[in-house]
Each structure stands twice: as structure tokens, then as C-alpha cells.
Structure 1
Amino acid sequence: MATNGVPISSQQCEVMCGPLLNYRHMTGEYTSSPIWHGSVLIVTSPGQHPQPLSLRSASSATSPSDSHSFQPERLYEDSRKAFFRYAIDVPFLDHESEWEYNISNMVPAPAEHSHINPNKTCRFWIPSKHESMRIMFHSCNGFSVGTDMNTWKGPSLWKDVMRVHTEQPFHVMIGGGDQIYNDGIRTEGPLKEWTDIKNPHKRRDYPFGEDLRVKCDIYYFENYVKWYSTDAFAVANAQIPQLNIWDDHDIIDGFGSYTDHFMKCPVFRGIGGVAHKYYMLFQQHLAPPISSFTTSISHHSRMREKLSRHHSRQADTPAPAVQTQEAFVLQEQSEGPSYVLGKRPGPYVEECSRNMYCQLGKHIAFAGIDARTERTRHQVNYPDTYDLFFNRISSALQASNGEIKHLILLLGVPIAYPRLQWLENILQSPMIGPIKFLNKRFGIASGFFNSFDGSVDLVDDLDDHYTAHQHKKERKDLVLRIQQLAKSRSVRVTILGGDVHLAALGRFYSNPDLHIPVEKDFRFTANIVSSAITNKPPPAAVANLLARRNKIHHLDDETDETLLELFDKQPGEGEGVKPKSAPNNHATMPSRNYAIIAESHSHSPSPAATATAAPTTNGHPLTNGNHAAAAAPFAPASNPRSALHKGEEGAGASHAAAQGIQKTGLAGRFGLDVAVRVEVDSADTEGRTCGYGLSIPALEC
């Protein structure tokens, strides 16, 4: 007998990776009984039959303490592995609650997977139904090709994440892209032969046949299994629900930002399809498209298939038999309510972009733009994708009837960031031509040029930035749409961005001549830049250069922007640790890091909390523990790189929010506390950090 094609057996289930926990969405947001929805993913050897997942309350004060059982659903299976998803749900309660789950018959798969412990009971937390989620944000969770692993000793900051989680639990962790680095596919994997081809025309025309597709498929899968089973990161994956978007390294370095004619070559289109398959499975817990691109299918036939399938929501177009002869692929009945799909496939990844919107508890919403699927050297997203995305957000905020006070917007790449157009001009100027010629003929300056299209290696990274000259109009339009959304829906927008391998805090704000306090300024939008949690930072000289380029820019006549000088001391200062940057650089921090975002004020309805709650004036508590001076008059600094509002006063290592552990009350009833936790010493395998804090007020309009 079989259920959903899965053989019924009492044998133990061999697990290769997992469990991985995702947050998906909540229902009943505006009722007295909201429900949290998530999923758990396991990867097994083929032919396995996992037992149901058992979920029960681990909180002594929780009344629904009985165990709930959830059945596995097979997403994908071939001759090497199988993916199973458990769709789970639990109620939000009057208090923060802890839940534990396990799957009884799991054992490690043989050989290289024997180190994992899949049978351990895992726990996660959800907030009170009166409050919002406590957020951990990270990006760039891997190593670039050529990293000195004697200096950068693995993903040690995840140990600090779990220490903080033990002290004050995270309810969700947001991945801003590059959750895994797949770049090794071109240096030690099946694309090495292709990469080594010197003739660009031969490299562009190189076929992506079935043999190469299978080898790339194996590489991506095994790299995911290896990385997602790594020490503290694996522990976090099982206990902190994830929300992820992807970026170039989830595919390969620079994907989407090389020249158009090269990006359309069979190999790039091929690995785009394979990487998308495993991004869907490991990071989104969704069945992949029924087929991936191969050169055996014409481009136009595949595009017609994609459009037909997207509009009909049914994959009735037959897939190539060679790709499905030994595979099972679940036909998803629904994309899920948290996704905002693009109208048409991307130019190089022939799938529709997968943007996201969901609510993170009572007062915070999350929206994430898929800035990779539609990316080219000259665009980040299609105009109609922005329309769909902002229409969805606006409608959801309107439906909240004012309950949503803060929108966390994930862009992946920072948008409030220093310009480097002068560097772009140099790297793309005629003066580079002779050096490029010498490189092609004699290999001179080989490290200066990339292995793909022969351009200067930095150009693809610069082209990724919203501040790049070719994205200037798209960037301005996006910022203005964010401002209009904030104004029309009376919601504060805070942007998350990663990618750049350092920490910073950018802000858009109204021109000081308009005399608008930040609390009432719909243009005030902070951009929390947190990157990388694992990859090596740029050299200090690069960070110092960026800090020197931290000018006060004018987006238009009404909006200015600049970085906050947040880093008032060096991590490990006074402990004999080498400084990360120059003494005059307080704006960019080249050290591994992650961020914590949480509500500044408690919304608990308990009598005890109500009795001790502080009265407020203009959104600031008159008394709140050690913050009795919170209501003192505040005057914005004449230098906008310093504090523009009360929550930025004293920003840095001594700010009350710096450790990311306790609510400060400094940002008023609906404001946020932000902590950026920065690695002190890369030689410390325990990942000890130094925190830098500030608070962000809600929008009062």
C-alpha cells in the first residue's frame, strides 16, 4: 500500500538534512484567535516513510498542552533523495508561548550524514497575540571563493545568535539573500572546465546538456546538505522560523549582472534553473517546477510553457522525459498567501519572481522584494512587479485598520548607501582597455578580471547596487513609492539590506528646511545594513573609503539621505583586539555581524504590566526604568550624520538597545529597538560580539 506515492513502512527514516523550520503567515490577524502557520522540512534517502510530526506546548502556562499530529507531504523525490514537508499551525495565545516538535523514527543517513542528530526534540517560540515578533536579520551566510579559512574559521556568529536566542527568544529570522554560497561550482565543481575556457565566444556557446545538468544538480544539492547541516547554523534552522529571499550567491556570484548576451548563454540559464529548484525546496519549502532548463528545449517553447503554467496555475505541459523518468514532483495546489508572484518569467531564471508579504504578529508586517529573478545589468525588477507588490502591501495595510504600525521591507541590497559612481566610471573607462588586452594575451592582472565575461571583477558587484548609475531612476521611483505608502497608510517603513559585507545604518529623511520632526516625518526611512554573518568583511581601507564618501545626498528637493555615525567605539576596544577601521570612521563597520529588531514597548494586557506602564508624552515614556529622561526636550543635530530623533540620541555601544535583549521604551509605544551585533575577533570561534543600538519611532500622522 502507499499514501501519496509513499510506501507504508515501520522502518526508521534515514535523514540527510533537517529539520528546517519556516514561518509562512498568520490567519485571523484581526480576530481574538489568530493562528501561526509554518512548515518543517526534512530531506531523506529515497524510499523513506517519515512518521507524523508531533507538536505540543512546552510552556507550563499554556492550556492547550495536548499533542497535535501533522502528516508529511512529499514534495520531491528522485533516485538520490526525497523532500518531505510538514505544514504546521499553532494558536497565538495571551502570552508568549514555547512549542516543541519531533518526528519519532528519524535516524541519520549513512556515511557523510552520520554526524547529524535529526531525532532531537526541537523548540520554537511565538509572541503573545498582543505583540509582534522579535526579529533576527542576517545575510551573506557563506564564504566567497578564495577566502582564507585559517583566518575566517566558519560560521561562528551563529553561536552568538543561539546564545541570544536562549536568553531572549527570536520569533523569526529573516534571510536577506546569499543564505548559501554556491560559487565553488566554477572552481571545484562541474563548471570548472567551462570557466577555464579562455575564448569568450566558446564559453558563451558551451552547451548545457543533460550530463552537465545532472552534475550541477548533484553539486547544488550536496552543497545545500553540507551547509545546512553545519553546527550552530543547523541548530538555528531547526529552532528559529525562517523567511528568506535569494540573491546571486544562492545561484553563483554576479548572476544577473553580467552582460546580457553572456547571461543568456546556455550554462547561465541552466544553472539558474537548477539553483531555483533547490532554493524552492530548501529555503521556501515548496515543490520545484516540474522541469529545469536544458538545451534540448527551445527557449521560446519554454517561455510559452512558463506563461501558460503561471496563468493557469497548472503544469499540464509535459516535462522532458529525461528529467522526470525517475522523479516525483508534487503539483502544488496553492502558492500560499504570503507570495506575490511576478506576471512573467525573469530574463535568465525562467521563473516568475517570488516576492513576499506577511504579518509578523500584531503590529509589524514584512515585505520582501525578489531582486534577483528579474535582474539584469540595467534593471532590478520589472515595473509591473513593483505595481503588484505595492498594491498588495497597500491593500493589506488598509485591511489592518491601523493595527500595523511598522513595515519591515527587505530589499537585499542597501538603498541608502554611499555612491561609488566615480569608481564605476574608472573601471568602465577606456583606460581599462589596455589592461584588459594584456590580461587576455598574457594573464597580467588576472585577479582583477572575472572569469565569466572578462569585465573588471568589481563591476558586477557595483552593478548590483541601487546607487549604481544605471539604477538611478529605478531607485528614486522605489524610494518615492515607499514614502507614498508610508504617508497614505500611516505606517513607518524600515528597510533591511545586506550584500555589502559590512554594517551601517542609512536614513532617508525630510529636508531639515521643512522642519518636520522625525516622529511625524513619513519620509524618514531607516535602512539597516547587516552583512555578512559568515563571509569575510572588506578590507578596512574600503570601509574607510565608503565612510569618507558618506555625503549628505539630496534625493529630491524634499528628501535627504546619509549614514548615521553609529559606531562610537571599536569592537573589543581596550582588549588588545586590532581595530576594524580608522579612528575617524564611525559610519561603516567591516566586521561580521547580524541585526536584531524588536518592539520597543511591551503591549502585554496583563494587570501587572498595565499598573506599571509609564505615562507618555508625544509618544515617549515619562518614566521607564533607567530611561526617565526619555521625554526630555530633543533638538536634532545640525550634522544629520548624528542623531535626528530621540531614539538615535546616544546611538552606539552604550545605547540601551545595543545588546538586543530588553525592551527600552525609548521609541514610544509602537517604535522599534535595533541592535547590530558585531564580531569582536575573527579568531574567536565562539563568535563573541559587541552590540550597537538605536531606536526607531513609529509614524505619528
Structure 2
Amino acid sequence: MHSHITATIGPILFLDDLDGSRMHLSALFITPAGDAPPPSLGLERDKVTPTRLTDFDHATVWRARFTLLADRTSSYTWNGDTYSVASDLTGSMRLAYISCNGEEVGDMDREGSERNAMWARLRDEHRRSPFALMLHGGDQIYADEVTQGHDLSDGWPDKSPPAPTEAALADLRRHLRHRFFDRYAAIYSAPELAWLAARVPSLMQWDDHDICDGWGSLRRSQTFSPVGQTLFSAARESCLIFQHATIDGDLPARFADLEGRHLGWGIDAPGLRILAPDLRSERTRRAIMGPGGWTMMEAEAARRASGHTLLMSSVPLLGPRLSVLETLMVAVPRMQKYEDDLRDQWQSRAHRDEWRRLLRLVRDMVEHDGNDLTSISGEIHLATRAVMDLGQGRRLNQLVASGVAHRAPPKGWARFLGALASLGEDPLSGHPIRIRPLPGKSARYIAERNYLVLERGADGWSARWDLEESGMTGSLPL
């Protein structure tokens, strides 16, 4: 599918913000260019007409902003259909977490039912017991091939023209914008995801493949080249439109920096805080977060929050001792191409001080609130979990669910990581990190496509993974 869509895509729901007992939502629609606007949304007392958000050559993107009460189940109507939304955030509820919705090579050419098999499972799970929110933890699209097919970017990042003209860069921007559009339109028109996205509001955090593989871990000369900056700008605009239903100057109140210098955000629901710092916008080879990200996280750490905190870290916060692997990779020429992948991780030697700084911040948050904090991550195309002992009977749980559409790596890789994890890791003295098996499993890493279910019941929060071959795991209390 390339730019020419033939029918309306949507509604795709996004949670803009929570404010007391109200849920502020956006519904996104994509129509062929020149078509009339999508029909209005029908709510209990009024109608909301979608307004134009932005245009592409062959399509227009529309958005309708509306509110639902957040203390009861609601619904809205559109185009003759009624959509039920599990919008009661006050008591028992379920959240879904997914990441890595695609693959680096040939993702647009995959057969739909194979590609979206886990989305179909998630849809069936929602029908059985509805989800209030869908958390998307990074790599919502795989944009690695968007640079192909244009003279300026064909060889990027390995080679880049030193001084392209303004006209050539404007042409590149147009090319990239439409290649990003193709990917988002293809994803949102997949029937399995589309059915869910019309009924479950999404909250999204981007990662490298939403820009390009390893964004921020590449060399400065690549990232800050005219081509690199044009790519980032097109990726960021696409992310705002298709992952947050917004554009610059119009960011919803949940964003920490309304100027958009970074795209970190936070949500407060009764007894639940969800934090999603931006680990890409300010990233360099030496830093994962920049001044904006640290300002956001330190402000959150200083603020009292009641109940459970979910920290979305697009790359896992707790992991094995990757420095061992980095040393091996530098020594083996064939492995050097994976160096950027390792540099992408908190555990990389390049980020060790910053990693400690964030772990101390998380420890302090747990200590002064007396509340539990769970870190959830994607990125690694495997399912796993980890525990960091915080002392006084408290611990930081980390849950990794990765690869809702990305096929699993070889089982040998999972075994190798498991062996590496047996070495243990303690970046903060007295707070050891241990990689633990999922409920009912013996291996530390599971190489199957998966997503995560987070549930709040009478006894607090628990988690289960749905694994493609093994099915749903037992419940892990958090």
C-alpha cells in the first residue's frame, strides 16, 4: 500500500489526558484526499465533528477531541456503529502492553494474518474481559526502509551528501513524510488492530525504529547531518500525528514539555500513575535522556503519587551485564555492526553513570511514597522479567513484553542471554538485579511473540504474558 488509500481508516482512539473524573480523548481518521470529512461522533449529549489535522498528497488526517466520564463504562457512535469503551478507571481494570509492532526488513510485504496473529489474540482477550488502555512501548512502526528510494538518503547512515541544497532537502522531506505515512496507514488499517484501536484508547512511547534503527546511538556526524536531521524531523512529525493525534503547538496536557523539545508524558488515574520519559529525542551516544527528560523525571520523583507507578522505559531498565558482550564485540570484527544495538541499552558501559542516576531516582520514588513501582519495557523481541532489591522488603519489578508482530529471535539467543544473566548485576551497591523466569517457566528469556496483561483487582496489581506458542502464563503479583 503506497499513499493511495481508498477508504476511511479509523476511528483510532488516543488518551489525551485525565482530569479528575474525565477522560480527554482524540479519535483519529485518515481519508483519501478530496473526500468529505468523516461523519461526526455521537456522544451521550452532543456530537463532535472531526477537524482537519494535516494533509498528505493523497490523504487527509482528521481528529475529533471529546471527553468521556472516567468512572463508568461509556460508548460513542460513529457511522452507524456503537463503540463501547471500558473507561472506568476507579476500581478493577486491565491494561494491555505491546511493543515492536513490525520488522526491520519487508514489514509492508508480510501476510496480514501471520503478521497480526498476536493482535487477533489481544482482540479476543479484550472481548473476554475489556482493556481500559493500550500502552504501546516503542517501535510502533519499523521505519528502517523509509530512507530508500531517494538520492539523498539511499546510502544513509553510512554515506550522506555533505551539503545538499535546500530544494533537495525539501524533496527528501516530502519523500520521507509519505513513506512514514504508508507505514502508519498500513498498521491502522489492519483489521485486528483497527477493531481494538476504535475501542481502547492508546498511550504511546516511541523508540528507535519509529525513527530509524539505533537513532541516537549512531555517530554524531550521521545524526546531525542535514539528511539525519530531516529524517528525525519527518519521524517526529509523524509520531505526533499518528501516535498522539496532535501537531506542534497543540500537545495535550499530559506532555511534560508543551513545546515538544522532548515527548515525555505522564498520566494520573485513581491509585495509578503512568510515566513515559522520552528516551530518543534528546539521546546521543553519551546520554539516553537530555535536560528535558531529567527535569521531567526529577519533578515526578519529588511529587507525591498515591498507589502504583508504572514506568515505561522503551529499553529495559534492568538487564544483564552487557559490558561483557560489548568487550567481546569490539574484539570480533564480524560483531561490530551490533555495537549500536548494545549502546542503545541502559546497561551499556557508555551509559553506566546515567543508568545509576535513574535507578537511584526510582529507588527514592519508592522510598518516599511507600508505593510500588513497576518498570515495563519492550525492545528485545523476547519476554522476560527482572527484580531489583530495594531493601526493607521492597523491590522494583521489571516486566518485558516485546514482539507483538516482530518474529522471535533464535531460541539459542534467549539461552545465551539467560547464561549472561546468571552472572547477576549490581550497578547500585546493595541492590542486586536478578533476571527471573516468567510464572510457570524455567528459562529466563522466552523467544516467542507476546504481549502483557496488567490487571488491578482486590489484591492489587498482577501481570500475565500471552506467549504465542505457550499461551497465557500464570499470574505474577506486583
Retained in 1: the 8 A contact 2:160–2:222?
A: no
Q: Distance in 2 between matches of 1:157 and 1:538?
A: 16
Q: Could you tell me which of 365, 369, 372 is aligned with 2:273?
A: 365
Q: Could you tell me which of 144, 150, 173 is aligned with 2:134?
A: 173
Retained in 2: the 8 A contact 1:15–1:42?
A: no
Q: Distance in 1 between matches of 2:409 and 2:162?
A: 31
1:122-143 deviation line (CA, Å, top 9, x unaligned): 3221125x32642100100111
Number of the residue aligned with 2:290: 382
Number of the residue aligned with 1:391: 299
SS of the equivalent of 1:458 reads helix
The answer to whether structure 1 residue 182 and structure 2 residue 124 are counterparts is no
Q: Distance in 1 between matches of 2:274 and 2:76?
A: 25
1:76-113 deviation line (CA, Å, top 9, x unaligned): 235532222111112234xx4141321x3xxxxxxxxx
Deviation (angstroms), 1:471: 0.7
Deviation (angstroms), 1:339: 0.7
Q: Could you tell me which of 414, 424, 438 is aligned with 1:566?
A: 438
* Shift in CA distance, 338/194, structure 1 to aligned 2, threshold 3 Å: closer
1:10-64 deviation line (CA, Å, top 9, x unaligned): xxxx854211101122222xxxxx11221111112334333321024xxxxxxxx
Q: Distance in 2 between matches of 1:87 and 1:393?
A: 31
Q: Distance in 2 between matches of 1:381 and 1:92?
A: 32
* Shift in CA distance, 273/196, structure 1 to aligned 2, threshold 3 Å: closer
Retained in 2: the 8 A contact 1:371–1:381?
A: yes
Q: Distance in 1 between matches of 2:360 and 2:327?
A: 27
Q: Distance in 2 between matches of 1:419 and 1:487?
A: 26
Deviates more, 1:40-49 or 1:592-601: 40-49
The answer to whether structure 1 residue 87 and structure 2 residue 46 are counterparts is no
Retained in 1: the 8 A contact 2:51–2:64?
A: yes
Structure with more relative contact order (C-alpha pairs < 8 Å, separation 6 or more): 2
Q: Could you tell me which of 5, 26, 31 is aligned with 1:39?
A: 26
The answer to whether structure 1 residue 679 and structure 2 residue 461 are counterparts is no
Deviation (angstroms), 1:151: 12
The answer to whether structure 1 residue 695 and structure 2 residue 471 are counterparts is no
The answer to whether structure 1 residue 268 and structure 2 residue 228 are counterparts is yes
* Shift in CA distance, 84/394, structure 1 to aligned 2, threshold 3 Å: farther
Deviation (angstroms), 1:416: 0.9
Number of the residue aligned with 1:17: 9
Number of the residue aligned with 1:419: 321
Q: Distance in 2 between matches of 1:419 and 1:150?
A: 37
Retained in 1: the 8 A contact 2:321–2:424?
A: no
Q: Distance in 1 between matches of 2:338 and 2:97?
A: 26
Which amino acid is 1:250 matched to? D
The answer to whether structure 1 residue 163 and structure 2 residue 149 are counterparts is no
Which amino acid is 1:694 matched to? L
Deviation (angstroms), 1:408: 0.5
Q: Distance in 1 between matches of 2:8 and 2:49?
A: 19
Residue segments in structure 2 that go unaligned for 5+ positions in a row: 1-5
Deviation (angstroms), 1:249: 0.8
Number of the residue aligned with 1:553: 425
Deviation (angstroms), 1:229: 0.6
1:396-444 deviation line (CA, Å, top 9, x unaligned): 62xxxxxx21000101110111122122122224x52xx6xxxxxxxxx
* Shift in CA distance, 197/53, structure 1 to aligned 2, threshold 3 Å: closer
SS of the equivalent of 2:350 reads helix
Retained in 1: the 8 A contact 2:13–2:28?
A: yes
Retained in 2: the 8 A contact 1:133–1:364?
A: no
The answer to whether structure 1 residue 537 and structure 2 residue 408 are counterparts is yes
The answer to whether structure 1 residue 244 and structure 2 residue 236 are counterparts is no
Q: Distance in 2 between matches of 1:206 and 1:494?
A: 46
SS of the equivalent of 1:386 reads helix
Retained in 1: the 8 A contact 2:277–2:296?
A: no
Number of the residue aligned with 1:114: none
Q: Distance in 1 between matches of 2:205 and 2:127?
A: 26
Deviates more, 1:553-562 or 1:165-174: 553-562
Residue segments in structure 1 that go unaligned for 5+ positions in a row: 1-13, 29-33, 57-66, 105-118, 290-330, 344-350, 398-403, 436-447, 449-455, 570-584, 602-667, 682-688, 697-701
Retained in 1: the 8 A contact 2:140–2:206?
A: yes
Number of the residue aligned with 1:497: 377
Number of the residue aligned with 1:462: 342
Retained in 1: the 8 A contact 2:101–2:140?
A: yes
Number of the residue aligned with 1:665: none
* Shift in CA distance, 45/405, structure 1 to aligned 2, threshold 3 Å: same
The answer to whether structure 1 residue 590 and structure 2 residue 447 are counterparts is yes
1:585-622 deviation line (CA, Å, top 9, x unaligned): 52100110000111131xxxxxxxxxxxxxxxxxxxxx
Q: Could you tell me which of 167, 171, 174 is aligned with 1:211?
A: 171
Deviation (angstroms), 1:152: 9.3
Larger radius of gyration: 1
Deviation (angstroms), 1:193: 7.2
TM-score by length of 1: 0.63
Number of the residue aligned with 2:3: none
SS of the equivalent of 1:428 reads helix
* Shift in CA distance, 489/156, structure 1 to aligned 2, threshold 3 Å: same
Deviation (angstroms), 1:201: 5.5
1:508-551 deviation line (CA, Å, top 9, x unaligned): 1136xxxx33xxx2xx1101101011101121111101111123
Number of the residue aligned with 1:352: 261
Q: Could you tell me which of 360, 364, 369 is aligned with 1:484?
A: 364
SS of the equivalent of 1:100 reads strand
Which amino acid is 1:532 matched to? G
Q: Distance in 1 between matches of 2:465 and 2:56?
A: 42
Which amino acid is 1:75 matched to? L
Deviation (angstroms), 1:382: 1.3
SS of the equivalent of 2:434 reads strand
Which amino acid is 1:555 matched to? P
Retained in 1: the 8 A contact 2:383–2:402?
A: yes
Q: Could you tell me which of 41, 50, 64 is aligned with 1:72?
A: 50
Retained in 1: the 8 A contact 2:180–2:238?
A: yes
Q: Distance in 2 between matches of 1:387 and 1:357?
A: 13
Q: Distance in 2 between matches of 1:85 and 1:384?
A: 28
* Shift in CA distance, 155/457, structure 1 to aligned 2, threshold 3 Å: farther
Retained in 2: the 8 A contact 1:342–1:388?
A: no
Retained in 2: the 8 A contact 1:394–1:489?
A: no
Retained in 1: the 8 A contact 2:374–2:398?
A: yes
* Shift in CA distance, 131/253, structure 1 to aligned 2, threshold 3 Å: same
Number of the residue aligned with 1:648: none
1:222-266 deviation line (CA, Å, top 9, x unaligned): 221112111201111111110001111111111211111121112
Number of the residue aligned with 1:49: 37
Q: Could you tell me which of 377, 381, 389 is aligned with 1:509?
A: 389
SS of the equivalent of 1:483 reads helix
Q: Could you tell me which of 398, 405, 421 is aligned with 1:527?
A: 398
Q: Distance in 1 between matches of 2:176 and 2:84?
A: 35
* Shift in CA distance, 538/264, structure 1 to aligned 2, threshold 3 Å: same
Q: Could you tell me which of 280, 283, 297 is aligned with 2:243?
A: 283
